[in-house]
Amino acid sequence: DAKTTQPNSMESNEEEPVHLPCNHSTISGTDYIHWYRQLPSQGPEYVIHGLTSNVNNRMASLAIAEDRKSSTLILHRATLRDAAVYYCILRDPSKNYGQNFVFGPGTRLSVLP
């Protein structure tokens, strides 16, 4: 399985930007980079995904390195509700089809008021 590496935890102040890094040096050429988050007592929630170009949506931005070996999830203004575990996930490359996500331990983001 292609692996991702994320910091165990990060802290941010409310209303400040947050940059959550992810390393994925063994990513294959067709793997998309997905970001999900898990709020306390809830299921994982889709945040954003991309292949090569930077992506923006209403929740966040995704900056992908030119060599695709790393990416950064950007929350432009953190709120208390953004406190969660953030997962950077690659599609399981051993499968010919299917989208069986391999979750790592993720980054636990704390947002301070």
Binders of other proteins among residues 15 to 34 (CB under 8 A) are: 32, 34
Sheet holding 9-13, edge to edge: 9-13, 107-112, 84-90, 33-38, 45-50
- Is residue 66 exposed (0-12), middle (13-18) or buried (19+ Cβ within 10 Å)? exposed
Nearest to 107 by CA among 22, 14, 12, 2: 22
Q: Judged by CB under 8 A, which of 11, 103, 110, 112 binds other proteins? A: 103
Site string for other proteins, 31-60 (x = CB under 8 A): -x-x---x--xxxxxx--x-x---------
Q: Judged by CB under 8 A, which of 13, 52, 54, 100 binds other proteins? A: 100
The residues that touch other proteins, with contacts defined as CB under 8 A, are: 32, 34, 38, 41-46, 49, 51, 87, 91-92, 95, 97-105
